[in-house]
Amino acid sequence: MNQGQTLFAQIMVVAPHRAFQRCVQRYGGDHRVRRFRCWDQFLAMAFAQLSFRESLRDVEACLRARAEKLYHMGIRSTVSRNTLAVANEQRDWRIYADFAQVLIQDARQLYCDERFGVDLEQTVYALDSTTIDLCLSLFPWAHFRTTKAAIKLHTLLDLRGNIPTFIRMTEGKVQDVRLLDELLPEPGAIYVIDRGYLDFARLHTFTRSHATFVIRAKKNFRFQRRYSAPVDRSTGVVCDQTVVLTFARSADGYPEPLRRIRYKDSETGKTLVFLTNNFTLPALTIAELYRCRWQIELFFKWIKQHLRIKAFYGTSENAVKTQIWIAISTYLLVAILKKRLRLEHSLYTILQILSVTLFEKVPMEQALSTGADTFTRGYNHNQLQLFDL
């Protein structure tokens, strides 16, 4: 990369500017805007994510303190908190949602050969949601409970590289299972789904689309056994059965046989029951696939700890969604940069180093190699690495 560029500018080189402008034109984001265009807004908000700014006042103070370097960072206008607040309030959040989809496609191509714990050729997704609590008096539009507001982040995660491929933000009161209506199953792919999405009529859509699902059964699951396959109990698999649903409403929604696998985890001692429409994979592989679902829980924990998506710079729905989508885009940009430069550091390490070196004019590889040595010497080995690509 250009040695004369700031580290922040080197990160933003990864972002396809023409694709961003197409997203802006699609929703008229720069209509009648003379200064502080959508690209300036994106850069300022991405800077806030990378430098862990607490508020728009912090963003304004930091950027104005280094005003002589704003041009070299790609920001062509003076950044003020009022201008940035108005932009977050009024400019359509779908601009940044569409741009995130562009980055998702780029990231998935780079991480398509990554391993995730199970040796399979098929694409494997994990589907789950996380709740972000909000103050009801400040966010009255985010309906959740009588005395509480919240939003839900429904996410479909590609386990090869931990890249989010489908994201929907809804009010906290929206049931998880409704998101299956918006999901278009990919033929041949495997979907590992949280128990909250159990709805047999909706799951039948995966079978009709020739996609595989793996989900945990509920305690009141009623079925009739048709066949039991032999199993090796030393692996933890207790039984491998072919069953049909007996409850009338469930049977009408899913009239075909299902595979029921009972598995005892030797580490925790818990017994888990899985349902799947795949009758070819070994029972132990099905259990291992569900174990890999934990990666989406780590993904949610990681982004909540290292991105600004729990405290917001604005209170309107548009401002909240804008901030979340730009945070996801920032995460994807760093993930793409890591892969293209073949960096061995974790995303956590890269973000920590970048947070204090964004204004430096050194090659990215040099900044990360120098910073990584210092970081490793002072690293607390008792600290758990929650997320490591």
pLDDT at residue 201 is higher than 90: yes
Position 58 scores a pLDDT of: 93
Position 368 scores a pLDDT of: 82
Position 129 scores a pLDDT of: 94
Q: Residue 152 — φ and ψ, nearest 5°?
A: -110, 140
CA dihedral sign, ordered 202, 107, 320, 42: negative
Position 386 scores a pLDDT of: 46
Work out the angle between the directed axes of helices 317-340 and 81-90 (0-180°, nearest 10): 100
pLDDT at residue 1 is higher than 60: no
Q: Residue 275 — φ and ψ, nearest 5°?
A: -120, 140
Q: How many CB atoms lie within 10 A of CB 14?
A: 17
Q: What is the mean pLDDT of residues 215-236?
A: 91
Position 3 scores a pLDDT of: 54
Alpha helices in 142-215 (DSSP H): 200-208
Taking all residues of the chain, what is their mean pLDDT, rounded to a whole number?
89
Confidence of residue 335 (pLDDT cuts 50, 70, 90): very high
Give CA 255 to chain center in angstroms: 33
CB contact burial 167-205 (16+ within 10 A = b; e otherwise): bbbbebebebeebbeebebbeebbbbbbeebbbbebbbb
Q: What is the spatial distance between Cα 4 and Cα 297, in angstroms, rounded to a whole number?
A: 40
> Which residues make Cβ contacts (< 8 Å) with residue 319, sequence separation at least 6?
85, 88, 89, 312, 313
Position 310 scores a pLDDT of: 87
Evaluate whether 151 touches 142 at the Cβ level (below 8 Å). Answer: yes
DSSP string spanning 292-323? HTHHHHHHHHHHHHHSS-SS-S--SHHHHHHH
Q: What is the spatial distance between Cα 313 and Cα 284, in angstroms, rounded to a whole number?
A: 46
Contacts 24+ apart (CB under 8 A), 217-223: 217/260, 217/273, 217/274, 217/275, 221/273, 221/275, 222/246, 222/247, 222/250, 223/258, 223/260
pLDDT at residue 203 is higher than 50: yes
Position 377 scores a pLDDT of: 45
Evaluate whether 19 touches 99 at the Cβ level (below 8 Å). Answer: yes
DSSP string spanning 69-135? GHHHHT--S---HHHHHHHHHHS-THHHHHHHHHHHHHHHHHSTT---SS--SS-EEEEEEEEEEE-
DSSP at 344: -
pLDDT at residue 223 is higher than 50: yes
**Which tens digits make up the pLDDT trace of 317-329?**
999 999 999 999 9
Position 370 scores a pLDDT of: 56
Q: What is the mean pLDDT of residues 46-53?
A: 93
Q: What is the spatial distance between Cα 86 and Cα 298, in angstroms, rounded to a whole number?
A: 34
Here the tokens at position 105 are 């496609």
Position 187 scores a pLDDT of: 95
Instruction: Specify the pairing of strand 212-216 against strand 190-193.
Output: parallel
Confidence of residue 382 (pLDDT cuts 50, 70, 90): very low
pLDDT over 90 for what percent of the chain?
Answer: 68
Residue 270, helix vs strand vs coil: coil
Give CA 261 to chain center in angstroms: 29
How long is the chain? 389
Q: What is the spatial distance between Cα 381 and Cα 94, in angstroms, rounded to a whole number?
A: 41
- Which range (3-7, 20-24, 121-125) has the least confidence? 3-7
Angle, alpha carbons 58-60-64 (nearest 5°) = 120
- Please give the CATH architecture assigned to the domain spanning 208-279: Single Sheet (2.20)
**Which tens digits make up the pLDDT trace of 79-94?**
899 999 999 999 999 9
Higher pLDDT, 310 or 276: 276
DSSP string spanning 33-47? --SS-HHHHHHHHHH
Domain boundaries, the chain: 7-96+308-377, 208-279
pLDDT at residue 380 is higher than 60: no
